[in-house]
Amino acid sequence: MEQYNNGASNFKLNPNNPVAADVEKMKADVVNLHEKLKDPVFLGSLFHVAVTERENTNRILKNLLARIDSIDARLRAMEREAREAPKLEAARGAPEGPKPPVVLPDVDFEIVGFVKQRGRVYANEVRKKFNYRGTNAACARLNRLYELGMLDKKQIGRRVYYIHKEVDVQKA
């Protein structure tokens, strides 16, 4: 049996153990590599491979960055066109045809009729008229109608009033 001293501890290698052959092989590889690292030709070829790989990596990164830049430029151009398209249409004076009527659910249709009848309303009035438990549901309905372009809204003091707009509306 061979005995090894690695400075911190001593251990004995059992030749019958299957790991022993692997340890001997790794020991031989380390010694062989240690000898190769003393050879300047080996070191030179090792550095040459490292430099070549770095150049290849830099070339790949350069190509990727060029592709990203071209995609970015095309995206910016598309965004610019999308922003300018409505301005160009308005500048050309493109005639707007009749807009199709908006189809609303029954409750929304009744709310629009209520606003038209009263002139202006706020959420609490809608809540009372349509028997909502709280003002949040009424506010949500009124805001949705505002976003659809059915109503205008104005804040007067702490209240937000919703005002009827002349829009062609149909009941669903």
The pLDDT tens digits of the residues spanning 108-150 come to 888 888 988 988 899 999 999 999 888 898 999 999 988 888 8
Token representation of residue 68: 């990203």
Closest C-alpha among 148, 151, 150, 147 to residue 162: 151
What is the gyration radius of the CA atoms in the chain, in angstroms?
A: 40
**Is residue 126 a contact partner of residue 141, using CB atoms and an 8 Å limit?**
yes
Q: Each residue of 68-87: pLDDT tens digit?
A: 999 999 999 999 888 887 77
Answering whether pTM is above 0.95, one says no
Token representation of residue 107: 């409750």
Distance CA 40, CA 80 (A): 59
3-class state of residue 120 by DSSP: strand
Average pLDDT of the segment spanning 163-168: 77
Planar angle of CA 51, 54, 59, nearest 5 degrees? 125
| pLDDT for the residue 51 | 94
| pLDDT for the residue 149 | 82
The DSSP-derived string for 20-77 is HHHHHHHHHHHHHHHHHHT-HHHHHHHHHHHHHHHHHHHHHHHHHHHHHHHHHHHHHH
